[in-house]
Structure 1
Amino acid sequence: MTDTLPSQASVVVIGGGIMGCSTLYHLAKMGVTDAVLLERNALTSGTTWHSAAQVRALRNSQNLTRMIQYSVDLYSQLEKETGQSVGWIQKGSLSIATNPGRLTHIRRQEALAHAYGIDARSISAGEAKERWPLMNADDVLGAVWSPDDGRVSPSDVCAALVKGAKRLGAKIFEKTGVTGILTENGRVRGVETTRGTIMCDAVALCTGLWSREVGAMAGAEVPALACEHFYLLTKPIDGIIGNTPTLSDHDNHLYMRDDSGGLLVGCFEPMGKPIAPGVLNETFEFGLLPEDWDHFEPMMMNALHRLPALETAEVKMLLNGPESFTPDGTFMLGETAETKGLFLGCGMNSVGIASGGGAGMNLAHCIVKGHTAYDLSEADAKRFAPIFNSIEHLMARAPEILGTHYDIAYPGKQLKTARDLRKLPLDSQYRDAKAHMGQVYAWERPLYFGKDKEPALRFERPDWFENVRAEVMAAHEKAAIFDASPFGKIEVKGADAEAFLRHVCAGQVGRAPGSVIYTALLNERGTFESDITAQRLTDDHYRLFVGTNAIKRDLAWLRRHSEDYNVTLEDSTETYAVLGLMGPEAARIVSECGGAALNDIAYFKHAEAKVAGIEVRAARLSYVGEAGWEITCAATDAAALYAAFTQAGAVPAGLFAQSSMRIEKGFCAMGHELDGDVNPITTGLDFATRKSGGFIGADALEAARARGEQSMMVSLILDDEMAVPLGHEPIYQDGKIVGKTSSCAFGYRVGKPIALGHTKQLLVNGSRVQVDIARKLFDATVVIGPLFDADGSRMKG
């Protein structure tokens, strides 16, 4: 190791586990050969060294899967590149199901595998027993076999990554603790260590268990907390010869494989044990926590059921090593909202080795090129509401997240801990109306109304099916209230407001005050950062409405592009409530409430008015395809406005009804149809961009038009009324996968299950396809455009 700490480096990587080593390696590969890695103890001495190190490629999204596929390719190539063995053992993985819900879940995963080019196939319980002879298969209903999965040696992988990085000039300093991160005007400037200070342009924070505390040194929120994680190791037993596949018995919260002739039995128990900050300090090096047999006992009983040979096995140890978990179970990757130049690669939720190769590549890509190699918005470092950084909430949520690691992905599933953190102005009214609430960016939002008990979760037609039908029909035949209050609201004010928004927005933001503008926020690649609705209030004041969970990300994006403009940006989300009053009786209701003037507002225009004696700003637009307004008022006035509307006959409607109606209308949504991998052309939204250019991404869009890119968005209507598509299902035509669904629902106004989807080739209106739902093919018809009210006459009133 080099002895002298440099005074300057382009990038400093903090943390010598798998994420730090991978990030350093990839920075060096990308030409940042003066990058430095700092580790306060020894490489891999935190979580990495005791990882079970399984590499299972299939995840619940295409790009997370793609990322792990990259890890597999990297680990196999590292040995050739560096001469350092990584201990890659490719014996496959076996996922078994012992109840019908799990069987559907793993078959949905198998369908995804086909869409993502991964070899995975259903096998019988008998074949599963053949692949794992020690397994008790009496209660197994079926299984999915993935032959390409495997495992590695964590320390050897890190040694190979470090060897490759050092060959290219990168430097590693062990026994070098970070004592502070220097910032100036919200930007990283350097790192203070126990051996001196290094000035730098960027910091990659890959500090695992200690990430929240290290992030705080730079003023950034890093909501991650350590939990205890257990696995049992036995001495050699009869029946284990060589290496075995990894056996996943997720119904019993277990994973199992061979280890040195014995068994390794690990668990993600239903509720984990959190580790309070400060328990793991700077002296925790290659450390373990005390065995806890009382806590492990229920998992041990499950393991004895699945592997009867355990009964006579001699225990080597019950390993208890800490792992870090985030509030939603996905890692954090990318630049923080609070501090420019501070990049996170942490909170790996026990998939650090599998993810590490691809995640390190993407983090390095983000540092060097300003964006990940492909869309990883589900792992965006800016996705959490600030309240989730509270220790109280992390101590409650992290143990539940550990327990959800092997959950069945039932639609509508909600977490139970750290709830009621942010309540809507109408929270009590919604609960009085028997709202079933869901958490979005810490807000409690109504999913549907009229709940009489906790819904039973399943993959078939859900418990709330008729509740949602009633809400959709109310909006379609009478009037319904959709609460858009938690949508982010950003006030853009100043002499340069229009010029600034013309720079960052692709839409026609130069319209006169009183206009509503739909616009994309694009990056230099011409792909989506966000999509927003803007209301121009005056010449120098716009109000932007952004997605509920996008406020932190979008505000950071806008602020970082506003430095050369005379504008101020303010988050006014909680100042205002927004009620969408939609349906054919909406006009009567506002008139009865003294707001007849709202009926004079043209489509995509807004105006101030008085309704029920309350000052409001009403915008004529519709996200659900029925005529009405999105009405903004002071949050303190929401209860009176809601009371007036409901007394006049309107009823509340939830997110599930809104989603169904959105999909019927073919409206795209961020995180579903729109992300950093697609542009307005391929998603059918080029009509909302300025062809004169002058905005971020305009050149890339023009190049895409010149290449002849076209919309690849389709709507689908399924023949079988009982089919339940959920999203991410492969679309087949003539036996070949031609695309994938993105948003799905039952379309109550069209009377059939429906979907939006991306295709890889142009499909014509009326053509026939099939949708793979848990390995069963359902016939569907392609529709180019909306499934309901194609010309938009209903919503324009």
Structure 2
Amino acid sequence: MSSNALPSHAPVVVIGGGIMGCSTLYHLAKMGVTDAILLERNQLTSGTTWHSAAQVRALRHSRNLTRMIQYSVELYSQLEKETGQAAGWIQKGSLSIATNEDRLTHIKRQEALAKAYGIPAHSISAEEAKERWPLMNADDVLGAVWSPDDGRVSPSDVCAALVKGARSLGAKLFEKTGVTAILTENGKVKGVETTQGTVMCDAIALCTGLWSREAGAMAGAEVPLLACEHFYLLTKPVDGIVGNTPTLSDHDNHLYIRDDSGGLLVGCFEPMGKPIAPGVLTESFEFGLLPEDWDHFEPMMMNALHRLPALETAEVKMLLNGPESFTPDGTFMLGETAETRGLFLGCGMNSVGVAAGGGAGMNLAHTIIHGAPAYDLSEADAKRFAPIYNSVEHLMARAPEVLGTHYDIAYPGKQFKTARDLRRLPLDAEYRSAKAHFGQVYGWERPLYFGKEQEPVLKFGRPDWFENVKTEVRAAHESAAIFDASPFGKIEVEGPDAEAFLLKTCAGYVARKPGSVIYTAVLNERGTFESDITVQRISETHYRLFVGTNAIKRDLTWFRRHSDGFDVSLTDSTETYAVLGLMGPESPRIAADVGAPELNDIGYFKHGEAHIAGHHVRAARLSYVGEAGWEITCRAENAPAIYAALTAAGAKPAGLYAQTSMRVEKGFCAMGHELDSDLTPVETGLDAMTRKQGGFIGAEAIAERKAAGAVSRVLSLTLEDEAAVPLGHEPVLLDGEILGQTSTCAFGYRVGKPIALAHVERPVETGTTVQIDIAGEIFNAVVTNGPLFDPDGNRMRPS
């Protein structure tokens, strides 16, 4: 199938001939890189693609992941017309059933989400579900959602069509060509050594599936994923299967079911999968399968027999056991690695490779050519994982659980149970004695709330921690609370060009005098958000940047890659310093009581030095929660003594849930919620914080957006029904039409109502009543442009 000899140079080398590699090659060629090549050590689809059940279900938990799979649907349905090669696209829809009330709520939330994203989805009764799937036992089914546009493909045919399309434009494929080394120089890829010779290149797309961790290591990059065994049962023909059926999703029983060659295909994502240690599957694993394991599959088989009585008499063709790779959070990796420039990942597909492949390949090609995906995919950013997740020990523990959570009900507050306690805060022991309930962020265990007496029962209604969080918000509002910001990333920028460098890379007013605190957006050439950070100017030549907890790898990489030509050094000091936010009206008294009365002389958005419990601190006067106080930075080893002094003087610890509630009341936007790389500061109401004279990356793009009439489209909502529980991503309607959707939701304890921030398509006046669709139930909400609490910000400033 390959033609000619291996070239000595190619602009882009795609490694791996599965769905991701074939799609990436196709899209590179479509976008003009017609001399890209694909290297496959065996044959196309011979890794995990060939045995994929190849379901293509469009709805995902975010707008852009959904958009990505919608692109796959459109691509697969027209490939035959374009290339003459059939892709085996069968569009028979999918049926999701619920056998308990929480699952019913879950699928109704999905139905509401589908409407917001323009995907047809309809609630139907158990009786109608039975009509669509007559072989199903529907006795315990409470309801279902029908999605008519979903379908499936033939994975091998899709890959053949994509490669045919790519080759017609000039791209080349080389099978039986294994990569034996990736060549790098000064942290950048420059070529690959293969079994057939060496190819120099400018970029590599690593689409090597379950072997990607080892392949990435060849280039010095971290690619945390691990293969697990993945099972589905195939039967011989069964009476009642005539033609193609919809895919039946029985997620309460961990099953997906459809026809296959007149028989049944019954697949599962069992609660705890079986991991495969690295090195077990070698390059000789070509079109390979693992041994059948009926003992492991038996509980799923019992579930399947309950759902499909016809299985009792069906003849089994085989129990297929094929490997599939999973990442520590269940989302794939797409984009350039932090460690190695020019090395781009398209892997860790978590068993949705065929569904995602069309859109993910397009976005990977777009990233290689244009430096960013076609739309925000930061949830799949290759730089999002803490290095500690790349350990085999942690991956062996976590990957089987990730497989099992594939069909979980999306409860708020849900946490992984495996690979925990990887990184502990300096005050971990103190928080455990205060009965903290922890959540894991970037490997850190962060307190979500305190005073936990027993494990919370997860639910869609008012959560078990409601009163705990209320107590913490009250402490911050009426006395004083301590919020731990220690896991936030910290970057020291030092050198004679520190100011000039930050004027270029930050949109805010970073040239303020030493002693200043600056909030700033970090933008790309498109004028959209790469990050939003807080900056403390410590001296003429020294700044300290505070970035999001899970953004340290990404942001440090961004700044380093824009530092050429500047005399600056960049150092990650995240673990050197702890940061404690002391917030609330009692803060001034507490500062005096602990021997640091000079903190009260620090002006708003200024920082100063003091000593608490005999230890040096740097306190910055700002507030993320809308109450007066300071973010106090100290050396990590001094945090316990400082915390002891603050709590002895009356401050109470408060967790992330309280902070989020108070942030939403203040209308403060956060990366990954209200801010992302699709939006500029103009659409998020933050353009007042950008320098009018420009001179920073993205300035021209912002000016263009303003000239085009862009305005803020983020607003605050107060729900009228105190018992409503919005969670985020709910459709917002005005006059029966979808206006936008919620981003962050909480209960606003200071305003006494459920609240939300929302993105809308067009501005809406304050006081307008809109509707929010929460799992099919409609709730009224009132619009506010601006904060819901203390709109003038008087409580945040020193009295």
Residue 11 of structure 2 is aligned to residue 10 of structure 1: yes
Gaps of 5+ in 1: none
Which residue of structure 2 aligns with residue 362 of structure 1? 363
- Report the TM-score, using the length of structure 2 for normalisation: 1.00
Distance 1:723 1:614 in 2: 46
Which residue of structure 1 aligns with residue 443 of structure 2? 442
Which residue of structure 2 aligns with residue 780 of structure 1? 781
Deviation >4 Å, runs of 4+: none
Q: Deviations over 1:11-62 (max 9, x none)?
A: 0000000000000000000110110100000000000000000000000000
Which residue of structure 2 aligns with residue 489 of structure 1? 490
Q: Deviations over 1:174-212 (max 9, x none)?
A: 000000000000001001101110000000000001000
Which residue of structure 2 aligns with residue 593 of structure 1? 594
Which residue of structure 2 aligns with residue 131 of structure 1? 132
Which residue of structure 2 aligns with residue 112 of structure 1? 113
- Write the mapping of 1:261-280 to structure 2, written as runs, cut at 5 A: 261-280=262-281
Which residue of structure 1 aligns with residue 754 of structure 2? 753
Letter of the structure 2 residue corresponding to residue 772 of structure 1: D
Which residue of structure 2 aligns with residue 121 of structure 1? 122
Which residue of structure 1 aligns with residue 183 of structure 2? 182
Which residue of structure 2 aligns with residue 523 of structure 1? 524
Which residue of structure 1 aligns with residue 728 of structure 2? 727
- Write the mapping of 1:350-749 to structure 2, written as runs, cut at 5 A: 350-749=351-750
Distance 2:248 2:204 in 1: 38
Aligned-partner SS, 1:565: coil
Query: How far 1:420 moved relative to its partner?
Result: 0.2
Q: Deviations over 1:411-450 (max 9, x none)?
A: 0001000000000000000000000000000000000000
Letter of the structure 1 residue corresponding to residue 522 of structure 2: L
Distance 1:728 1:154 in 2: 32
Query: How far 1:761 moved relative to its partner?
Result: 1.1
Distance 1:779 1:563 in 2: 52
Aligned-partner SS, 1:521: strand
Aligned-partner SS, 1:118: coil
Distance 2:92 2:742 in 1: 32
Distance 1:761 1:560 in 2: 36
Q: Deviations over 1:244-264 (max 9, x none)?
A: 000000000000000000000
Which residue of structure 1 aligns with residue 316 of structure 2? 315
Residue 325 of structure 2 is aligned to residue 295 of structure 1: no
Distance 2:393 2:159 in 1: 34
Distance 2:693 2:268 in 1: 57
Query: How far 1:681 moved relative to its partner?
Result: 0.5
Residue 72 of structure 2 is aligned to residue 71 of structure 1: yes
Which residue of structure 2 aligns with residue 54 of structure 1? 55
Aligned-partner SS, 1:239: coil
Letter of the structure 1 residue corresponding to residue 569 of structure 2: T
Aligned-partner SS, 1:711: coil
Aligned-partner SS, 1:422: coil
Distance 2:186 2:550 in 1: 26
Q: Deviations over 1:602-650 (max 9, x none)?
A: 0000011112221000000000000000000000000000000111111
Distance 1:218 1:614 in 2: 43
- Write the mapping of 1:209-224 to structure 2, written as runs, cut at 5 A: 209-224=210-225
Which residue of structure 2 aligns with residue 96 of structure 1? 97
Aligned-partner SS, 1:750: coil
RMSD: 0.4
Query: How far 1:149 moved relative to its partner?
Result: 0.3
Residue 222 of structure 2 is aligned to residue 206 of structure 1: no
* Conserved? CA contact 1:530–1:670, under 8 Å: yes
Query: How far 1:2 moved relative to its partner?
Result: 1.0
Q: Deviations over 1:81-100 (max 9, x none)?
A: 10000011110000000111
Query: How far 1:748 moved relative to its partner?
Result: 0.2
Paired-residue identity, %: 80
Distance 1:209 1:646 in 2: 49
Distance 1:773 1:215 in 2: 42
Aligned-partner SS, 1:656: helix
Letter of the structure 2 residue corresponding to residue 411 of structure 1: P
Query: How far 1:3 moved relative to its partner?
Result: 3.3
Residue 28 of structure 2 is aligned to residue 27 of structure 1: yes
Which residue of structure 2 aligns with residue 80 of structure 1? 81
Aligned-partner SS, 1:467: helix
Query: How far 1:564 moved relative to its partner?
Result: 1.3
Residue 145 of structure 2 is aligned to residue 149 of structure 1: no
Aligned-partner SS, 1:368: helix
Gaps of 5+ in 2: none
Aligned residues: 797
Query: How far 1:400 moved relative to its partner?
Result: 0.2
Distance 1:307 1:795 in 2: 61
Distance 1:168 1:241 in 2: 40
Aligned-partner SS, 2:531: strand
Distance 2:583 2:99 in 1: 45
Distance 1:121 1:502 in 2: 51
* Conserved? CA contact 1:595–1:612, under 8 Å: no
Q: Deviations over 1:270-291 (max 9, x none)?
A: 0000000111001000000000
* Conserved? CA contact 1:441–1:548, under 8 Å: yes
Distance 2:283 2:188 in 1: 26
Distance 1:775 1:656 in 2: 26
Q: Deviations over 1:589-613 (max 9, x none)?
A: 1100000000000000001111222
Aligned-partner SS, 2:368: helix
Aligned-partner SS, 2:210: helix
Which residue of structure 2 aligns with residue 166 of structure 1? 167
Which residue of structure 2 aligns with residue 762 of structure 1? 763
Distance 1:520 1:511 in 2: 16
Distance 1:438 1:220 in 2: 27
Residue 62 of structure 2 is aligned to residue 45 of structure 1: no
Letter of the structure 1 residue corresponding to residue 221 of structure 2: A
Which residue of structure 2 aligns with residue 140 of structure 1? 141
Aligned-partner SS, 1:70: helix
Distance 2:376 2:565 in 1: 28
Distance 2:540 2:312 in 1: 77
Distance 1:505 1:761 in 2: 28
* Conserved? CA contact 1:520–1:531, under 8 Å: yes
Letter of the structure 2 residue corresponding to residue 597 of structure 1: E
* Conserved? CA contact 1:489–1:551, under 8 Å: yes
Aligned-partner SS, 1:104: helix
Query: How far 1:118 moved relative to its partner?
Result: 0.2
Letter of the structure 2 residue corresponding to residue 634 of structure 1: R
Letter of the structure 2 residue corresponding to residue 446 of structure 1: P
* Conserved? CA contact 1:227–1:324, under 8 Å: yes
Aligned-partner SS, 1:282: coil
Letter of the structure 1 residue corresponding to residue 535 of structure 2: A
Letter of the structure 2 residue corresponding to residue 394 of structure 1: L
Distance 2:39 2:358 in 1: 19
Distance 1:665 1:796 in 2: 14
Distance 2:797 2:28 in 1: 52
Residue 245 of structure 2 is aligned to residue 257 of structure 1: no
Q: Deviations over 1:203-254 (max 9, x none)?
A: 0000001000000000000001000000000000111111100000000000
